[in-house]
Structure 1
Amino acid sequence: MQMKPQRNPALAAVLAAAIAAAIPQAARAADAPAARAADAKDCPNDGVVRFGVEPFDTSAKLVPIYDHIGKLLGEKIGCQVKVYIATNYNAEIEAMRNGKLEIGEFGPLGYVLAHQVAKAQAVAAFSSKDGKPDTYWASLVTYPGSGIKTVAEIRGHSFAFSDPASTSGHLFPAYGLRKAGINPDKDIKALYAGSHTASYEALYNHKVDAGELNSEQLQSATQRGHYKDGDLIFLWKSDPIPTDPITVRGDLSEPFKDRVTKALQTLDLSTLPEADRKIMGLGGARFVPQTDAAYDGVRDLVKTLHIDLDKLS
């Protein structure tokens, strides 16, 4: 796998690729009573609602899962829901900024940026087993035999991040490095693999000496037989992070936005196969309400690390 640093992806340049490369197989609303009863004028884009998803795992894993979610949502709102797996984090943000998406799932850092530049409004999130918005964690890891035993010893080594706009793939790992006195922009050989799966595979195959790993990717790697206890050494782990918000674009008509919000906040995901829920690391089986304020901690960390959100876009 060949990786190139991608510290400042150009949004305009990747938008067309994101939409053109989107998975052609889209979730279609079932012929349910709600769908039949809805007037076409109540749905945008001639009855089509576009739902963007960040590429936090491979498309092969994400497509069937989100096709299923899109179908469930379409049944509730009475519109056809087309799901697009973005080519990278910023492509999805740019798509919403340009009115190409009505709904989007963003990582927490991506959401902070999307809220700032693309009118994204957090309304829902995956639930935990106790019915509250779920959380996950980020970590710094290496492999046995790398010679690295502490975070401080990562200095001077190659390190795989996922994407500059990723919360657990960049923001929190950078924070963990800085706590150990390492400047992630100068003191390591940083590579941006483009996704959590790509950065994990780089580490798993010893293409880099250390890297980021979040709990969701760990669950996915375990499911596909690419991880067992002892394969990696955990050097640092973050506090719990709120999971990806499901957002609606803020400039949609209020009646439609309210309808979508209510549907998302009560969407039952229990019909998702158990294997799919494990791949995604889901604690519960539904969406629950989420608020913008839940991501204030991410905003504070952005300020602490002096990260310029404009440079991420």
Structure 2
Amino acid sequence: MKVNKIVKTLLVVSAMSLLAVGLTGCGKKGNAESSDPKTLTVQFVPSVNAGSMDTKIKPLQSLLSKQLHMPVKMTVATTTNTMVEALGSKTLDVGFLPSAAYVLAHKQYGVVPLLQAQRQTRDANEGFTKKLTNHYYAEVVVRKDSNIKSLKDLKGKKIATQDTTSAAGYIYPAVEMQHEGINLNKDCKPFTVKGADQGVMSVVNGNADAAFVFEGARSIAAKDDPKAMTDTRVLYKSTPIPNDTISARKGLSPKLDKKIQKAFMDIAKTKHGREVLFNIYQHNGYVKTSNKDFAPMKSYIKQANDLNKNK
């Protein structure tokens, strides 16, 4: 009888131990799922006037919330750098990061690229074609009546740029000027503006001799002032730049990452969704992407960083 009691006691203890292990495992799974936010926070870089961006993103906030079946809060970042830091500190979940900023965010904070934007290519007059592409170009814009004929003529000139993490608004033009023997920081007079449209208008209004912008920025600015097209010209077009990303902070569950990917791709498949996305960033659709797609940018970023170290 004593042996039977001992056996029964051991069986009960074993069963309780297994149950405890099982509950611990369930607890870990539950914690992993609960680490996903109850409200998804999404942020945008002000590629055009920040005030107008606030209005443009509201319809997308509603569409994404319906797709994900959860609340979504969308805002416009002060700068690209603040967005990167917010993703790193996990106060932000998803960012529409330009490719150069994504490379930085991935290196520093393990930010994950979910999607890469597709845009229509442009013809010589900056009109859209039907062909979609995963890359775009930086442009250096000057006044049409300017005597600036080449990058070398920018020496000593006032140049409107975006912040230093912007591929089209800073990195590519600055690096390619350096290849021509012109040091942006030492040989020119750069100053920062918020939004490519503001860069174009700085040229139109005579506040800058040139501006670093993305291809198509003139036509966007022309919606508010036709002089953005009639009074300016493109001095220089860069080598191809990878399109923007939709990137997620480190720590979101793979399940939520996939839901976000699918949600944006589904939105882009509808007529209304495409109109909303186009109105914000001129995105026409999205494709899945990975870190390797942005490898060529690392060299440009390094060169730009070296340029800034020697100011």
TM-score of the two chains, using structure 2 as the length reference: 0.76
CA 1:76 to 1:273, structure 2 compared with 1: closer, same or farther past 3 Å?
closer
Instruction: Indicate the SS of the match to 1:185.
Output: helix
| 2:172 paired residue number | 172
| 1:270 paired residue number | 271
| 2:152 paired residue number | 152
Deviations 1:115-152 (A, max 9, x none): 11232211113334578653221111211343322211
The amino acid that maps onto 1:64 is T
In 1, the alpha carbon distance for the partners of 2:233 and 2:131 equals: 32
State the shift of 1:80 in Å: 0.7
| Larger Rg belongs to | 2
In 1, the alpha carbon distance for the partners of 2:108 and 2:295 equals: 16
In 1, the alpha carbon distance for the partners of 2:280 and 2:267 equals: 19
Q: Is the 8 A contact 1:123 1:265 kept in 2?
A: no
| 2:293 paired residue number | 294
Instruction: Indicate the SS of the match to 1:95.
Output: helix
| 1:202 paired residue number | 202
Within 5 Å, which residues of 2 pair with 1:1-313?
44-45=36-37, 47-128=38-119, 134-227=134-227, 229-268=229-268, 270-272=271-273, 274=275, 277=278, 280-282=281-283, 284=284, 286-303=285-302, 305=303, 307=305
CA 1:148 to 1:131, structure 2 compared with 1: closer, same or farther past 3 Å?
closer
CA 1:124 to 1:216, structure 2 compared with 1: closer, same or farther past 3 Å?
farther
In 1, the alpha carbon distance for the partners of 2:254 and 2:306 equals: 32
In 2, the alpha carbon distance for the partners of 1:128 and 1:197 equals: 18
CA 1:206 to 1:107, structure 2 compared with 1: closer, same or farther past 3 Å?
same
CA 1:213 to 1:131, structure 2 compared with 1: closer, same or farther past 3 Å?
closer
Q: Is the 8 A contact 2:219 2:228 kept in 1?
A: no
In 2, the alpha carbon distance for the partners of 1:309 and 1:140 equals: 18
State the shift of 1:100 in Å: 0.9
Instruction: Indicate the SS of the match to 1:139.
Output: strand
Q: Is the 8 A contact 1:223 1:279 kept in 2?
A: no
In 1, the alpha carbon distance for the partners of 2:191 and 2:51 equals: 24
* Cα RMSD, aligned residues only: 2.7
In 2, the alpha carbon distance for the partners of 1:197 and 1:222 equals: 9
State the shift of 1:42 in Å: 6.5
Identity across aligned pairs (percent)?
A: 23
Instruction: Indicate the SS of the match to 1:67.
Output: helix
Instruction: Indicate the SS of the match to 1:307.
Output: helix
| 1:16 paired residue number | none
User: How many residues align structurally?
Assistant: 267
Q: Is the 8 A contact 1:133 1:242 kept in 2?
A: no
Q: Is the 8 A contact 1:111 1:120 kept in 2?
A: yes
In 2, the alpha carbon distance for the partners of 1:198 and 1:42 equals: 42
TM-score of the two chains, using structure 1 as the length reference: 0.76
State the shift of 1:261 in Å: 2.8
State the shift of 1:162 in Å: 1.2
In 2, the alpha carbon distance for the partners of 1:82 and 1:258 equals: 19
In 2, the alpha carbon distance for the partners of 1:240 and 1:288 equals: 18
In 1, the alpha carbon distance for the partners of 2:138 and 2:304 equals: 19
The amino acid that maps onto 1:297 is P
In 1, the alpha carbon distance for the partners of 2:73 and 2:249 equals: 15
CA 1:296 to 1:265, structure 2 compared with 1: closer, same or farther past 3 Å?
farther
State the shift of 1:199 in Å: 2.1
Instruction: Indicate the SS of the match to 2:165.
Output: coil
Q: Which ranges in structure 1 are unaligned for 5 or more consecutive residues? A: 1-40
State the shift of 1:278 in Å: 5.6
Q: Which ranges in structure 2 are unaligned for 5 or more consecutive residues? A: 1-32, 121-129
In 2, the alpha carbon distance for the partners of 1:48 and 1:225 equals: 38
CA 1:84 to 1:59, structure 2 compared with 1: closer, same or farther past 3 Å?
same
